[in-house]
Amino acid sequence: MMDKLHTPEVDNLFRAILCLESVEECYKFFEDACTVKEILDISQRLKAAKMLMDGENYVVVSKTTGMSTATISRVNKCLEYGGGGYKAVLEKLDKLEKEEK
């Protein structure tokens, strides 16, 4: 799957995202590039990853997010065996939140 993902077009997409300088710019870009459902799905997966990392069980995550246990399981699989993307982002968000306090 990674070979299918690593393309010049996807590289360009990620570079474009890295160019965004504010949450407002992100809203503008993602509202143009994605459906509302796609944005909400990604944000819910990130929330589920945070909850799982904080030790919450699938039932609590499902009730809180409205996600299916199958999707939660996939997020957990990524946390356990994935490339570390969720963990890296969540650690950076945590650090940013602490700095803002």
- DSSP state for residue 54 in the 8-state scheme: T
Render pLDDT for 48-62 as a digit per residue (tens, 0 to 9).
999 999 999 999 999
Kindly report, residue by residue over 2-48, the tens digit of the pLDDT.
678 899 999 999 999 999 999 999 999 999 999 999 999 999 999 99
**Pick from 76, 46, 42: nearest CA to 59:** 76
SS3 of residue 19 by DSSP: helix
Orientation of helix 8-19 relative to helix 23-33, angle to 10°: 150
Confidence check: pLDDT of 83 > 70:
yes
Residue 3: predicted pLDDT: 77
* Residue at token pair 């990620």: 14
**Distance, CA of 20 to CA of 22 (rounded, Å):** 6
Identity (one letter) of the amino acid at 92? Answer: K
Same domain membership, residue 66 and residue 84? yes
What's the rounded Cα separation, in Å, for the pair 74 and 65? 14
Say if residue 42 is in the same domain as residue 70. Answer: yes
Question: Which residue range forms the structural domain that includes residue 14?
Answer: 1-33
User: Do residue 28 and residue 41 come from a single domain?
Assistant: no
User: Rounded to an integer, what distance in angstroms lies between the CA atom of residue 91 and that of residue 94?
Assistant: 5
Same-domain pairing of 88 and 101: yes
In this model, does residue 1 exceed pLDDT 60?
no
